[in-house]
């Protein structure tokens, strides 16, 4: 017999899992805890998901969804010829960094998982790869020579490393930067590394 | 005569005279498949109008062609009782192989792809996937996912929804589940289940172009020829090369028209029709109808004209400049997926699986008809080794302008599903456009709730639109 379904959708599980990771970190995520919070049996969860790994991946996908909605909004409202300069690549770098900091401010534990263990596990999963490799739009495209592509890739990677290091310090309370400091730092990098050659 | 059924058939372009003559068969079809008046009413009022572009006569005619074929399928029991032979086949296939049997047999033989036909019609037009019933009855449950077509084959046989064929031509080729299903049907006690397998060994070097590999082409050509001989023993209808040549001609004429439509869809901005509607016409390039290409071609001719009119008027489901995603095979059996992408401002566009015409044309000069069919078959991305598949897909992505590619929906499938995730990375690197993956079941949306996919589709939409904004500066 097909098993009965008592939840409306898998989303209910993911929402609860997201809250658990957000509050207590990914290590505390278990099917038992999710089931308890949803007031269903553990076995019920397996009608909707295969295992806890799938839930963790879905938590990341949900985080990425929120993040990219924010990046899109920032890009959509962006004046690509504004005084800060740097064109579309600089605009994307700013939108990416600002959105990530905003997200980290609201979801520290989720961010830690997204850029730490979660990234290590799922960076090449088909569902998540386009988001983790979003900067490839600048260097993985036709018309660029190998050297140009490699050069842009290096710049993008360095930018991501810088932003992620700052995020790590921010979420681990090593250095509590203000929004202005973050923006200043990012804009300085962009002006030195990207604008000079565009 | 029930008015809801009459209304339904009118809506999909059946003439009043045809409705009168066909109604008893349609009502019988509904009874067998568990479609009650309420289901048909919901299809008319909610489902079809929402997910299919019913303002296009070509689309209405095409849905009519599918339904007409379904009625034919259900009538095959009656045909069989009157002495006709029945030949079934799974999908995908090269249509000429099955169609040549129909051309040779006329009314003495009827052909069908029952698994594909029933699962498609029930899911795409009535939102009543057939798999849930199978899961209740057999061991093929969600923990052991199977292709809906194999599931339906077993259920249909056990419940006698459709008549047993005189022969089942199983194009296993790369699929290891299809042939096992035939064995299972026999094991379930049906000793009269006659099937002929056409398979290929998995022994080609990765990256070899199989359509140009003489040894491979020769092997498949002779496999097909031998399979036809076995089929003819069961059906008692000989199929000559002349009939195969005629079937290939009919197929290729239809394929070229689908190719024309694909070009119109791909190179016009705004995109004049949606991915679901295009796929409705593309899918029959991998199978054959008992009614032949007649009704489909009539619908296709109408749609091409309608699409051209829309291009002239610069009309389409979304405004000009909207991003578009190619798909391996637009999931038209879960039609709300394309609609949800549309709501996110994204067009689902071409099917890389079906855009084969330009590749197949290279082999028009092949004299041996079975070798020609084999070469054409090897132009299908899913029919060849992974390296060859990647090359075919990249060629198509370079030919047709798209902003990304959407994969997924086949995780249950031992044939396509296992290779998709490997393929994505290779194609993405070579084509330079992002590939997205959406988990789901192509034939059955009960495994993926709308709410589960909505946020994911929105997020793919954001990503594609961000890239579009960035690339607009180039």
Along the 474 residues of chain B, how does pLDDT read in single tens digits? Answer: 468 999 999 999 999 999 999 999 999 999 988 999 999 999 999 999 999 999 999 999 999 999 999 999 999 999 999 999 999 998 889 999 999 999 999 999 999 999 889 989 999 999 987 765 555 555 555 555 567 777 777 777 777 788 889 999 998 776 777 788 888 888 877 788 899 999 888 889 999 999 999 999 999 999 999 999 999 999 999 999 999 999 999 999 999 999 999 999 999 999 999 999 999 999 999 999 999 999 999 999 999 999 999 999 999 999 999 999 999 888 888 898 999 999 999 999 998 888 888 999 999 999 999 999 999 999 999 889 999 999 999 999 999 999 999 988 777 676 666 677 778 888 988 888 899 988 777 777 666 667 778 888 988 999 999 998 888 866
Does B136 touch chain A if contact means CB atoms closer than 8 Å? yes
For residue A131, the chain B residues in CB contact (below 8 A) are: 459, 463
DSSP string, B71-100: HHHHHHHHHHHTT-EEEEE-SS--HHHHHH
> What is the residue extent of each domain of chain A?
56-197
For residue B429, the chain A residues in CB contact (below 8 A) are: 140
Our CA-based measurement puts residue A174 at a distance from the nearest CA of chain B, in whole angstroms, of 32
Strand arrangement, sheet containing B404-408: B347-351, B324-327, B404-408, B435-438
Size of interface A-B (CB pairs under 8 A): 92
Instruction: Judge contact between B439 and B448, C-beta under 8 A.
Output: yes
Does A7 touch chain B if contact means CB atoms closer than 8 Å? no
The SS3 of residue B54 is coil
Integer-rounded Cα radius of gyration of chain A: 19
Strand arrangement, sheet containing B109-112: B109-112, B85-89, B167-173, B195-199
Strands (E), B42-188: 85-89, 109-112, 167-173
Partner residues linked to B325 by β-bridges:
B348, B404
pLDDT tens over chain A, length 198 residues = 344 558 878 889 999 999 999 999 999 999 999 999 999 999 999 988 889 999 999 999 999 999 999 999 999 888 777 656 668 888 999 999 999 999 999 999 999 999 999 999 999 888 898 889 999 889 887 788 999 999 999 999 999 999 999 999 888 878 777 888 888 888 888 888 776 544
Given B135, B407, B470, which is nearest A137 (Cβ)? B470
CA distance linking residue A145 with residue A133, whole number of Å: 20
For residue A62, the chain B residues in CB contact (below 8 A) are: 455
Instruction: Judge contact between B356 and B380, C-beta under 8 A.
Output: yes
Q: For B87, left (φ over 0), alpha (ψ -120 to 50), or beta? A: beta
Options 1.10.357.10, 3.30.2000.10, 3.30.9.10, 3.40.640.10; CATH for A56-197 is 1.10.357.10
Q: DSSP assignment, residue B441? A: B
Partner residues linked to B408 by β-bridges:
B438
Q: How far is CA B94 from the centre of its chain?
A: 12
Instruction: Judge contact between B185 and B154, C-beta under 8 A.
Output: yes
CA distance linking residue B173 with residue B194, whole number of Å: 18
**A143-182 residues touching B, CB cutoff 8 A:** 143
Does B455 touch chain A if contact means CB atoms closer than 8 Å? yes
Does A64 touch chain B if contact means CB atoms closer than 8 Å? yes
What's the full length of chain B, in residues?
A: 474
- Which of A2, A78, A98, A142 is the best substitution to test chain B (most B C-beta atoms within 10 A)? A2
The dihedrals phi and psi of A5, each to the nearest 5 degrees, come to: -110, 125
């Amino acid at each position: 017999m097909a098993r009965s379904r008592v939840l409306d959708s898998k989303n209910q599980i993911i929402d609860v899992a997201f809250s658990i990771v957000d509050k207590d970190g990914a290590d505390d995520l278990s099917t038992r805890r999710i089931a308890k919070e949803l007031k269903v049996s553990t076995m019920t969860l397996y009608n909707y998901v295969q295992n806890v790994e799938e839930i963790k991946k879905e938590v990341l996908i949900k985080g990425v969804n929120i993040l990219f909605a924010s990046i899109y909004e920032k890009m959509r409202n962006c004046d690509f010829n504004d005084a800060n300069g740097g064109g579309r690549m600089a605009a994307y770098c700013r939108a990416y960094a600002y959105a990530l900091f905003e997200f980290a401010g609201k979801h520290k534990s989720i961010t830690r998982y997204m850029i730490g263990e979660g990234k290590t596990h799922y960076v090449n999963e088909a569902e998540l790869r386009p988001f983790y490799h979003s900067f490839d739009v600048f260097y993985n495209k036709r018309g660029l020579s190998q050297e140009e592509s490699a050069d842009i890739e290096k710049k993008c990677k360095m930018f991501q490393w810088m932003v992620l290091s700052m995020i790590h310090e921010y979420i681990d309370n090593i250095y509590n930067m203000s929004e202005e400091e973050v923006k200043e730092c990012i804009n300085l990098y962009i002006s030195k590394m990207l604008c000079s050659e565009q | 005569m029930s008015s809801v059924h009459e209304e339904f058939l009118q809506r999909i372009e059946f003439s009043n005279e045809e409705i009168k003559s066909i109604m008893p068969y349609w009502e019988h079809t509904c009874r067998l498949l568990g479609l009650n008046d309420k289901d048909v009413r919901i299809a008319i009022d909610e489902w079809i109008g929402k997910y299919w572009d019913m303002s296009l006569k070509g689309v209405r005619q095409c849905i009519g062609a599918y339904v007409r074929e379904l009625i034919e399928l259900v009538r095959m029991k009656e045909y069989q009782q009157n002495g006709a032979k029945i030949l079934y086949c799974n999908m995908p296939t090269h249509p000429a192989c099955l169609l040549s049997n129909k051309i040779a047999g006329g009314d003495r033989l009827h052909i069908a792809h029952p698994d594909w036909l029933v699962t498609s019609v029930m899911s795409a037009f009535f939102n009543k996937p057939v798999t849930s019933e199978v899961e209740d009855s057999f061991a093929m449950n969600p923990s052991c996912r199977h292709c809906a077509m194999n599931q339906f084959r077993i259920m249909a046989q056990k419940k006698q929804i459709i008549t047993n064929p005189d022969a089942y031509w199983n194009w296993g080729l790369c699929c290891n589940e299809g042939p096992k299903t035939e064995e299972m049907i026999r094991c379930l006690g049906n000793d009269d289940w006659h099937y002929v397998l056409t398979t290929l060994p998995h022994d080609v070097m990765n990256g070899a172009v199989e359509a140009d590999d003489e040894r491979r082409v020769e092997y498949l050509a002779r496999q097909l020829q031998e399979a036809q001989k076995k089929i003819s023993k069961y059906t008692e209808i000989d199929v000559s090369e002349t009939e195969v040549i005629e079937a290939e001609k009919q197929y290729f004429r239809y394929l070229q028209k689908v190719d024309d439509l694909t070009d119109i869809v791909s190179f016009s901005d705004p995109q004049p029709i949606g991915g679901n509607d295009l796929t409705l016409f593309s899918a029959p390039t991998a199978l054959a109808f008992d009614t032949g290409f007649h009704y489909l071609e009539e619908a296709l001719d109408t749609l091409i004209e309608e699409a051209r009119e829309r291009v002239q008027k610069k009309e389409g489901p979304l405004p000009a400049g909207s991003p578009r995603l190619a798909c391996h095979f637009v999931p038209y059996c879960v039609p709300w997926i394309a609609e949800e992408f549309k709501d996110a401002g994204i067009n689902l566009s071409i099917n890389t699986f079906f855009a084969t015409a330009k590749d197949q044309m290279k082999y028009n000069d092949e004299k041996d008809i079975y070798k020609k069919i084999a070469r054409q078959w090897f132009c299908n991305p899913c029919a060849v080794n992974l390296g060859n598949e990647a090359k075919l897909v990249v060629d198509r992505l370079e030919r047709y302008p798209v902003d990304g590619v959407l994969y997924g929906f086949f995780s249950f499938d031992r044939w396509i599903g296992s290779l998709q995730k490997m393929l994505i990375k290779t194609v993405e690197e070579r084509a330079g456009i992002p590939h997205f993956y959406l988990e789901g079941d192509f034939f059955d949306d009960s495994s993926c709730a709308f709410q589960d996919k909505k946020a994911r589709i929105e997020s793919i939409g954001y990503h594609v639109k961000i890239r579009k904004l960035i690339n607009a500066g180039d």
